[in-house]
Amino acid sequence: MTQSRIHERYRPLIRSTCGLLLVSALFLAFGCETSQKVKAASPNVEVPRGGLLLKGAGATFPSLLYKSWFASYQRAHPQTVIAYDAAGSGEGVRRFVGGHIDPEEQVDFGASDAAMTDEQMAQVPVGARLVPMTAGAVTIAFNLPKFEGDLRLSRSALAAIFEGEIKNWNDPQIAKNNPGVHLPKLTIVTVVRQESSGTTYAFSKHLDAISESWRAHFGPATVINWPGNAIRAKGNEGVAGAIEKAEGSIGYVGYEFAQKLGLKTALLENKSGKFIAPSLESASAALTTVQMPGNLRVFVPDPEGEDSYPIVTLSWILLYDSYSDPKKAGIVKDLFAWCLGEGQNAAKDLGYVPLPASVSNKSLLSLQQVH
Instruction: Read off the pLDDT of residues 328-368 as tens digits, 9 standing for 90 and up.
Output: 999 999 999 999 999 999 999 999 999 999 999 999 999 99
| 309 close to 276: Cβ distance less than 8 angstroms | yes
**Residue 158's closest CA among 280, 282, 299, 311?**
311
| 320 close to 127: Cβ distance less than 8 angstroms | yes
Please compute the mean of the pLDDT values over residues 309-316 and round it to a whole number. Answer: 97
Residue 302 contacts by C-beta under 8 Å, 6 or more apart in sequence?
Answer: 206, 209, 210, 270, 271, 310
Residue 217: strand, helix, or coil: helix
Distance, CA of 208 to CA of 302 (rounded, Å): 10
Highest mean pLDDT among 4-13, 98-107, 248-257: 248-257
Distance, CA of 252 to CA of 204 (rounded, Å): 10
Asked whether residue 286 carries a pLDDT value surpassing 90, the answer given is yes
Tell which wins on pLDDT, 5 or 352: 352
Q: What is the pLDDT of residue 44?
A: 65
Around Cβ 180, how many Cβ atoms within 10 Å?
5
Distance, CA of 300 to CA of 287 (rounded, Å): 8
Highest mean pLDDT among 13-17, 45-49, 314-318: 314-318
**pLDDT tens digits, residue range 64-116?**
999 999 999 999 999 999 999 999 999 999 999 987 667 778 899 999 999 99
pLDDT class of 304 with cuts at 50, 70, 90: very high
Please compute the mean of the pLDDT values over residues 276-303 and round it to a whole number. Answer: 94
Q: What is the CATH number of domain 137-287+301-311?
A: 3.40.190.10
Asked whether residue 238 carries a pLDDT value surpassing 50, the answer given is yes
**pLDDT tens digits, residue range 9-32?**
334 433 333 333 333 333 333 333
**CA of residue 286 relative to chain centroid, distance:** 20
Q: What is the pLDDT of residue 101?
A: 66
CATH classification (class only), 39-136+313-367: alpha beta
Please give the C-alpha separations between residue 89 and each of 136, 196, 298, 308, in angstroms, as whole numbers. Answer: 15, 6, 16, 25
Distance, CA of 24 to CA of 8 (rounded, Å): 25
Distance, CA of 77 to CA of 258 (rounded, Å): 32
Around Cβ 357, how many Cβ atoms within 10 Å?
9
**Which string of DSSP letters, residue by residue, matches 109-146?**
EEEESS---HHHHHT-TT-EEEEEEEEEEEEEEE--TT
**CA of residue 106 relative to chain centroid, distance:** 19
Asked whether residue 38 carries a pLDDT value surpassing 50, the answer given is no
CA dihedral 242, 245, 248, 254 (to 10 degrees): 40
Q: What is the pLDDT of residue 228?
A: 85
Entry field: residues in the chain: 371
Residue 65: strand, helix, or coil: helix
Q: What is the pLDDT of residue 100?
A: 62
Residue 193: strand, helix, or coil: strand
Asked whether residue 33 carries a pLDDT value surpassing 60, the answer given is no
Please compute the mean of the pLDDT values over residues 230-237 and round it to a whole number. Answer: 96
CA-based max dimension of the chain:
80
Q: What is the pLDDT of residue 102?
A: 72
With pLDDT > 70 as the criterion, what percentage of the chain qualifies? 88
Residue ranges, CATH 3.40.190.10, the chain: 39-136+313-367, 137-287+301-311
Please compute the mean of the pLDDT values over residues 42-57 and round it to a whole number. Answer: 84
Helix 357-367 and helix 326-340, axial crossing angle in degrees, nearest 10: 170
Q: What is the pLDDT of residue 45?
A: 77
Residue 20 contacts by C-beta under 8 Å, 6 or more apart in sequence?
Answer: none
What does DSSP assign to residue 95? Answer: H
